[in-house]
Amino acid sequence: MGQQFELEGEVYVRTGPLVASHAGNGKQRFMARYVVVKPVSVVEAGTLVQGARMVSSDAVSTTFETFHGRSLAALGQLEADLPAERLNAVYAEIAKARRGFLDTLAGL
């Protein structure tokens, strides 16, 4: 997932086993397994999607932490409606997912 490639002069990003999204406009396209594509690393310089940009891991981390905090706040509003055991299990699962995300980000 996330691999960029060229097909028919256009750059796409693989978003599923049989689906790719156009890197410029996001339009999805069915990708049969037999379709031959050119990996983006082989694409000539200057033909990549215009306007593509890199985002720092710090910016991603900060944005994610904001999302995480808001998610916990929303879950906190349900405390009165959920049994403590279930609530603790959900908090634990969110903490596990957060750690996995941050570990993946650190490995990039």
Question: What pLDDT digit, counting tens, does each position of 27-85 carry?
Answer: 888 888 788 888 876 444 444 444 456 677 788 888 899 999 999 999 999 999 999 99
Examine residue 76 and state whether it is found in any structural domain, yes or no: yes
Same-domain status, 101 and 62: yes
Same-domain status, 38 and 61: no
Examine residue 9 and state whether it is found in any structural domain, yes or no: yes
Are 11 and 24 spatial neighbours (Cβ–Cβ below 8 Å)? yes
Residue type, 86: R
Whole-prediction pTM value? 0.50
The confidence score (pLDDT) of residue 93 equals: 94
Residue type, 108: L
Examine residue 30 and state whether it is found in any structural domain, yes or no: yes
Q: How many angstroms separate the CA atoms of 106 and 33, rounded?
A: 32
Which residues form the domain of 22? Answer: 4-42
Q: How many angstroms separate the CA atoms of 32 and 61, rounded?
A: 35
Same-domain status, 62 and 102: yes
> What percentage of the chain's residues is helix, strand, coil (to nearest 5)?
45, 15, 40
Examine residue 73 and state whether it is found in any structural domain, yes or no: yes
Examine residue 48 and state whether it is found in any structural domain, yes or no: no
> What are the strands, taking DSSP E only, across the chain?
4-7, 10-14, 19-22, 28-30, 38-39
